[in-house]
Amino acid sequence: MKTAITEFFRTGSICIYILVLCVTILGGCAAVKPMPETTLPLDVNLVLAELKMRYDLVDTMRTWMNVSIESQGQEEELRAYFRYEKPDKLRVDAMGPFNDPRAVVLAVEKSFRIYFVTENELIEGELSDEVIKEVFNVDLRVSDVRSSVFANPFLDKNINDLETESYGDEYLIRRPSTRSGYREEISILVKDLVVNRWQIISAENELIQEIAFSKYRKIGGILRPLKAIISRPFDKTRISIESSNPEINVEMAEMTFNLPVPEGVAVYQLSDLKQHQNPDSDSEPNN
pLDDT attached to residue 163: 92
pLDDT attached to residue 24: 46
Q: Using 50, 70 and 90 to split pLDDT, how confident is the model at 149?
A: low
DSSP letter for each residue of 160-171? SS-EEEE-SSEE
Dihedral sign from CA coordinates of 275, 91, 77, 146:
negative
Cα–Cα nearest to 170, from 154, 198, 193? 193
Q: How far apart are CA 107 and CA 258, in angstroms?
A: 10
pLDDT attached to residue 250: 94
Q: Using 50, 70 and 90 to split pLDDT, how confident is the model at 236?
A: confident
pTM for this entry: 0.76
Of 13-22, 228-237, 251-260, least confident by mean pLDDT is 13-22
Q: What mean pLDDT do residues 70-90 have?
A: 84
pLDDT attached to residue 68: 85
With contact defined as beta carbons under 8 Å apart, do 150 and 31 qualify?
A: no
More confident residue, 16 or 278: 16
With contact defined as beta carbons under 8 Å apart, do 120 and 267 qualify?
A: no
Q: What mean pLDDT do residues 127-143 have?
A: 58
Q: Using 50, 70 and 90 to split pLDDT, how confident is the model at 223?
A: very high
Cα–Cα nearest to 256, from 68, 116, 61? 61
Q: Using 50, 70 and 90 to split pLDDT, how confident is the model at 145?
A: low
With contact defined as beta carbons under 8 Å apart, do 115 and 101 qualify?
A: no
Cα–Cα nearest to 47, from 173, 233, 183? 173
Domains in the chain, start-ordered, CATH in brackets? 4-275 (2.50.20.10)
Q: What mean pLDDT do residues 199-220 have?
A: 92
Of 76-80, 130-134, 223-227, least confident by mean pLDDT is 130-134
pLDDT attached to residue 5: 53
Q: Is the pLDDT of residue 105 over 80?
A: yes
Q: How far apart are CA 189 and CA 172, in angstroms?
A: 9
Q: Using 50, 70 and 90 to split pLDDT, how confident is the model at 202?
A: very high
Q: Using 50, 70 and 90 to split pLDDT, how confident is the model at 108?
A: confident
- Which CB contacts under 8 angstroms, 24+ apart, belong to 159-166? 159/35, 159/36, 159/38, 159/40, 159/48, 162/40, 162/44, 164/41, 164/43, 164/44, 166/43, 166/190
3-state SS string for 3-60: CHHHHHHHHCCHHHHHHHHHHHCCCCCCCCCCCCCCCCCHHHHHHHHHHHHHHHCCCE
Q: What mean pLDDT do residues 77-86 have?
A: 86
Q: Is the pLDDT of residue 25 over 60?
A: no
Query: What is the pLDDT of the chain when averaged over all its residues?
Result: 78
More confident residue, 161 or 73: 161
More confident residue, 126 or 25: 126
Cβ-based burial of 51 (10 A; exposed 0-12, middle 13-18, buried ≥19): buried
Q: Is the pLDDT of residue 281 over 50?
A: no
